[in-house]
Amino acid sequence: GGSGRGVGDGGDAGDTNGVFSETPVEMETWDWSKCERYCRTCRIWRPPRAAHCRDCGWCVIRFDHHCGALGNCVGRDNHRWFVLCLCSVSGLVVVLAVESVAALRDANWPRAKNSFSDPIVVTLLACVIVYGSCACLSCFAISHVYLWLCDVTTKEVLRPRRGCEPRSADADIEAGPGAERWRRLCGGLDVGEHG
């Protein structure tokens, strides 16, 4: 009855003989990344890890980033294809750079006389410089493969939520089986709940 107990018949944790204790009960830390949040722009409840893209004007599930080069958002439904595109372009650039260097070597550059007046040599030199600088894309591709395998988005790494620890890719790599991660990256079109 009216004994002053907390909610329920058995009292609450910290309740001693019908009297509340003076020490506060330790509360569990709330993880906002697992909560739905309301988007005022789209007027919808966003699922966990979704975010509103200011460039596209809509919410994206498992938002990674907005890619200005491709002109769209990278999220749950297309992150795998984005990583595949990065890896393909990176591989192509590396092959073109190696082939350009080989063609320069075949043209006996720089030992040939008037090598800078030959338009083919100048073109090949330009290719080596351009492809060499574009090879930096390989580092970007490798980092996205790593993030994808760890199930961590670029946004979660670069902008952790206030009051929360940044999502650690290293901890996630140790947490689960590698085969499932590769299946998510290279598997069929049905990506299931992991996105």
Count the Cβ atoms, other than its own, within 10 Å of residue 183.
Answer: 14
The Cα 57–Cα 74 span in angstroms is 14
Determine contact, residues 72/162, Cβ cutoff 8 Å.
no
Catalytic residue among 39, 53, 67, 85: 67
Does the pLDDT at position 160 exceed 60? yes
Amino acid at 106: D
3-state secondary structure 118-137: CHHHHHHHHHHHHHHHHCCH
Task: Render pLDDT for 31-90 as a digit per residue (tens, 0 to 9).
Answer: 555 778 899 999 999 999 999 999 999 999 999 999 998 999 999 999 999 999 999 998
The structure's pTM equals 0.63
Task: Render pLDDT for 163-174 as a digit per residue (tens, 0 to 9).
Answer: 555 555 554 444
Q: What does DSSP say about strands 58-60 and 65-67: parallel, antiparallel, or unpaired? A: unpaired
Render the burial of 143-174: b for 16+ CB within 10 Å, e for the rest: ebbebbbbbbbebbbeeeeeeeeebebeeeee
More confident site: 165 or 107: 107
The SS3 assignment for 37 reads strand
Determine contact, residues 47/64, Cβ cutoff 8 Å.
no
Predicted local distance difference test score (pLDDT) of residue 180: 63
62 burial class (0-12, 13-18, 19+ CB within 10 angstroms)? buried
For residue 67, indicate whether it is catalytic: yes
Average pLDDT, the chain: 74
